[in-house]
Structure 1
Amino acid sequence: MPNSTRRRWTKPSKRFACLLLACLPAAVAAADLASDPHLDTIPRSADDAARIARVTEPATDFTAPERFEGNPAGAATVRARDNADAFSQPSGNMSFENELLFKVGNGLFRKIWVSSPSSTLASDGLGPLFNARGCQSCHLKDGRGHPPVEGEEPSSIFLRVSVPAGDDEPMTGIEAYLAALDGHVDRDRPDPVYGLQLQNFAVQGQPAEYRLGVEWAEEEIALSDGESASLRRPVWRADNLGYGPLGEGAMTSPRVAPQMIGLGLLEAIPAGDILAHEDPDDADGDGISGRANIVWSEEFGQPMLGRFGLKAGMPTIKAQSAGAFSGDIGISSPMHAAGWGECTAAQDICRGLPDGGGDARGTEIDGEGLDLVTFYSRNLAVPARRDIDDPEVLRGKEVFYATGCTSCHVPKFVTARLKGRDEQSFQLIWPYTDLLLHDMGEGLADNRPEFRANGREWRTAPLWGIGLTRQVSGHSFLLHDGRARSLLEAVLWHGGEAEAQKQAVIDMPAPDRAALIRYLESL
């Protein structure tokens, strides 16, 4: 559904906004988005601030690598392996004791869950509706999933779904907060039958919700110097719906599982440093107007900066992990205690099936188990850069900067000083993202909102490790639905705020274009 036809709430006056904010819960009205309630931080000193300003300055010399550039995760960086395990190593600065916790978390991440009732009480509770039987089923080797491949079950992609909110439906607290902040908000609700996610598997005797269908259309793109590229445009379908049609105006969005490396370091970037890159009104006139997604945190009971997910719809790794357990596998946790997972009230038989929460754990994965999976996910290490002093790589880096790619793919941050998280504490990192939302144009639009994100906006994807995608995942499919088959195709899908950068890549001399791709392959 185009954005122009979706129901939006628009603020009629500043005075009304003040009245509206006065009616909100105190935690919402007084939210400090630059705070980091998930981090136990040590305040930065004036010396810290000066050092950070120096080391995060943009590069100006492209004749040699920058200092520390080969270690994109700081002291947490690990040696780049030449096999599919390159994304499955613990943080390079991890203690022996914590490495044991990492391995236990890895076991839970790799666990295959079974349906209830079962004699394997520690592993039962699957579904009743699910997209996969374990975390590793989608994040194969902790890397990227893939779109449907002929002859294979597309278990690493699914469709999010929601319907427009009715004009007479009251706003939630976070919607009212965003409306008062921005002057409008795109509002949606779970599908009345299917919820917020379509599951393509179900336990025995229960129908699956759908089967994913797709049609591809090739589009030829002419490049400079007689070169060309072909883009494939997907049309996604929800086929074989098991519970009747989707709700009126249903909006669907395909999501491929992203790679897992470096998440703890992204979580440790001070929110204020991310917000400092916002430019919603394009005050500097560069055509880039990134803005933060602001989401509701069930964990902390307040609005927070969104960092994780393709639209930055989750504030913490723990929240992301708990949401995936519930939505993707149908496993309850202390953050999502319902044993039926994504079964809606309209799916009453589904809700009445046995679950695995009736033993000493209380939920199908207990708090300790969720913390171990969170610790594992937080500490999947970023491999070292390759070929950083190669002349073509250095030329590609210069092209990357000159083309304006660093406006969104911000190269460097320094993480907060942290208590109890030595692996992520005060590290110079090179993730190549601002973690902000950007309008990527109609070509990539899913036309579905997510908190502050509208139907054309996506979070800037981190680029670290992107050159190892084929080695780890066995393919080179990129973007939110895997439509791009190469780095060049991914660049050519950019639009909206990145239209000028895409056009520059199309028009630049072929050797510069090749050097740019070579640079990205080194990340």
Structure 2
Amino acid sequence: MIIGIIVSVYACVEPDALQDSDYSEWLSGGSQTVFDNGVGAFSTAFPNLTSAREHVHGIGDGAFGQTFVTAPAPINPGLGPIFNNVSCTSCHVNDGRGKPPGAGEQLSSLLIRISIPGTDAHGGPNPVPGFGGQLQQRGIFGVAPEALVKIEYTEKQYTFADGEAYSLRFPTYSLQNPYTALPAGVMISPRIAPPVFGLGLLEAIDEADILANADVEDMNDDGISGKPNYAWNVVEGKMTLGKFGWKAANPSVLQQSAGAYNEDMGITNFIFPHETAMGQSQYDGRDDEYEVSDSLLHSVAFYIRTLGVPARRSADDAVVLQGKKLFVEGKCAQCHVPRFRTKTDVAFPEISNQVIFPYTDVLVHDMGEDLADNRPDFDANGREWRTAPLWGIGLTRIVNGHQNFLHDGRARTLLEAIMWHGGEAEQSKDFVSNLSKTDRDKLVKFLESL
């Protein structure tokens, strides 16, 4: 009840009239915080959209769930001819986090980016001849998939300083039964489907505020040297700051959405007008018209931009507050930056000038050899990953039915995810390793409150 009062008060007061200390971390998404702790926690629209914007959000919501089929068809034609999945929600279940396949399962919400040494014309990953930049492990009837993917795990045992044992599973990825021979030197990068809520607010963070946290040369000598990743912006025709994807290699929600349609489902659009199989033996020649309209693509991007962020739970709990203190002491907050204020946007007032708590710096960091995919992506090298936002992470089990984390879902708990950290986060991992079990539990409880 108290939280509802806070929201209604904030909705009526101009943001600049409030001091920073007036904002509560209960409201992770500012005035676009939603109060749903159930399965729909990641799927709720901004609470204060106009009726017209609600209508567009609803159109995008419907399109996000639509299943594409092989052309010709009266509804949603154009799937493939090679693809990873048949709809947006097939990967982003309940707008949340994907997971790696279980034993005997094929990939569903995990995909494989591929490239060979060198760069493309815009400094991005160099596509694999005959395969492109992303592996499609499925094909429509009569069409061979590019290859199948096999994942094998090796368990390694470790011990915390207090003697408690834990294990980490190390994945090995191999491409099997390719439709044609793969060239030498193919680099593989597995990517799990990330949650899609709150992206409009992340997009609204001013570039200057992100760059203010960058320290590429580690001038302050703290061992942390986050850097921005600049990627090719197809719409603007130039390099712009990347904010989205596991290596921050996508500059906008629109381009991320268009790329997913094209690469994941083989659906052409005005940003990516060519089939991913173009130039391959699987190519079906269906490049005559876009398979998703401009308006529908914009509606899907708007839907994603206007998904609210779930409110914190138990933010004032004594144990949670102690865990938060440990989070700061362990230097976790130096990369997982708690707070930003979005820029002013008169054309999109719902995301304008909001104090949000995403727990990311939107920069890429060296995460060590164990997490390295050894595949560069624009300015991000093979050891670097974008700091993943932590808001909503404590609801993963409820929304998605699992607790698989990191870029390929190898971590099976939040504590495992922490213990995978290396490189710039080695000090933080060591800090956690040396905590007592009681304090480790406090830290996890804090993360579960986000």
TM-score, normalised to structure 1, is 0.81
| Counterpart secondary structure, 2:397 | helix
Determine the C-alpha separation between the residues in 1 that align with 2:125 and 2:260: 20
For 1:125, the equivalent position in structure 2 comes to: 78
Determine the C-alpha separation between the residues in 1 that align with 2:50 and 2:164: 50
Are 2:290 and 1:335 equivalent residues in the alignment? no
Are 2:427 and 1:493 equivalent residues in the alignment? no
Checking the alignment, whether the CA contact within 8 Å between 2:70 and 2:77 is kept in structure 1 is: yes
Determine the C-alpha separation between the residues in 1 that align with 2:117 and 2:220: 34
For 2:135, the equivalent position in structure 1 comes to: 198
Are 2:380 and 1:453 equivalent residues in the alignment? yes
For 1:4, the equivalent position in structure 2 comes to: none
1:509 aligned to 423, 430, 436, which one?
A: 436
Residue 227 (structure 1) shift: 1.5
Are 2:194 and 1:251 equivalent residues in the alignment? no
Are 2:306 and 1:350 equivalent residues in the alignment? no
TM-score, normalised to structure 2, is 0.94
Gaps of 5+ in 1: 1-46, 57-65, 166-170, 176-186
Determine the C-alpha separation between the residues in 1 that align with 2:350 and 2:174: 43
Are 2:149 and 1:212 equivalent residues in the alignment? yes
For 2:12, the equivalent position in structure 1 comes to: none
Give the partner amino acid of 1:273: D
Are 2:239 and 1:307 equivalent residues in the alignment? no
For 2:213, the equivalent position in structure 1 comes to: 277
Give the partner amino acid of 1:55: D
Determine the C-alpha separation between the residues in 2 that align with 1:389 and 1:239: 51
Give the partner amino acid of 2:276: E
Q: How big is each residue's C-alpha offset from its partner over 1:468-498, in whole Å with a ceiling of 9 and x where there is no partner?
A: 0111111100000000000000000000000
| Counterpart secondary structure, 1:511 | helix
Are 2:69 and 1:114 equivalent residues in the alignment? yes
Residue 136 (structure 1) shift: 0.6
Give the partner amino acid of 1:329: M
For 2:35, the equivalent position in structure 1 comes to: 79
| Counterpart secondary structure, 1:226 | coil
2:256 aligned to 289, 310, 320, which one?
A: 320
For 1:147, the equivalent position in structure 2 comes to: 100
Residue 152 (structure 1) shift: 3.5
Checking the alignment, whether the CA contact within 8 Å between 2:23 and 2:355 is kept in structure 1 is: no
Q: State the number of aligned residues.
A: 436
Q: How big is each residue's C-alpha offset from its partner over 1:250-301, in whole Å with a ceiling of 9 and x where there is no partner?
A: 1011011001110000000001100111101111111100000011111111
Checking the alignment, whether the CA contact within 8 Å between 1:195 and 1:344 is kept in structure 2 is: no
Determine the C-alpha separation between the residues in 2 that align with 1:110 and 1:391: 40
Determine the C-alpha separation between the residues in 1 that align with 2:85 and 2:135: 12
Determine the C-alpha separation between the residues in 1 that align with 2:82 and 2:276: 7
Are 2:111 and 1:158 equivalent residues in the alignment? yes
Determine the C-alpha separation between the residues in 2 that align with 1:149 and 1:142: 21
Are 2:449 and 1:522 equivalent residues in the alignment? yes
1:90 aligned to 39, 42, 45, which one?
A: 45
| Counterpart secondary structure, 2:115 | strand
1:55 aligned to 20, 26, 47, which one?
A: 20
Give the partner amino acid of 1:400: F
Determine the C-alpha separation between the residues in 2 that align with 1:418 and 1:67: 20
RMSD of equivalent CA atoms = 1.7
Checking the alignment, whether the CA contact within 8 Å between 1:194 and 1:344 is kept in structure 2 is: no
Query: Alpha carbons of 1:172 and 1:447: their partners in 2 closer, same or farther (altered >3 Å)?
Result: closer
Residue 86 (structure 1) shift: 1.2
Determine the C-alpha separation between the residues in 1 that align with 2:121 and 2:109: 33
Determine the C-alpha separation between the residues in 2 that align with 1:451 and 1:103: 34
Checking the alignment, whether the CA contact within 8 Å between 1:116 and 1:354 is kept in structure 2 is: no
Determine the C-alpha separation between the residues in 2 that align with 1:172 and 1:219: 37
| Counterpart secondary structure, 1:500 | helix
Determine the C-alpha separation between the residues in 1 that align with 2:100 and 2:192: 7
Residue 201 (structure 1) shift: 0.7
Give the partner amino acid of 2:434: D
Give the partner amino acid of 1:509: S
2:327 aligned to 397, 400, 410, which one?
A: 400
Runs of 4+ off more than 6 Å: none
Determine the C-alpha separation between the residues in 2 that align with 1:188 and 1:328: 17
Give the partner amino acid of 1:275: L
For 2:228, the equivalent position in structure 1 comes to: 292
Are 2:361 and 1:438 equivalent residues in the alignment? no
Checking the alignment, whether the CA contact within 8 Å between 2:120 and 2:126 is kept in structure 1 is: no
Gaps of 5+ in 2: 1-14
Query: Alpha carbons of 1:506 and 1:462: their partners in 2 closer, same or farther (altered >3 Å)?
Result: same
Residue 419 (structure 1) shift: 2.1
Determine the C-alpha separation between the residues in 1 that align with 2:151 and 2:105: 14
For 1:26, the equivalent position in structure 2 comes to: none
Q: How big is each residue's C-alpha offset from its partner over 1:374-412, in whole Å with a ceiling of 9 and x where there is no partner?
A: 001111111110001111000000000111001100000
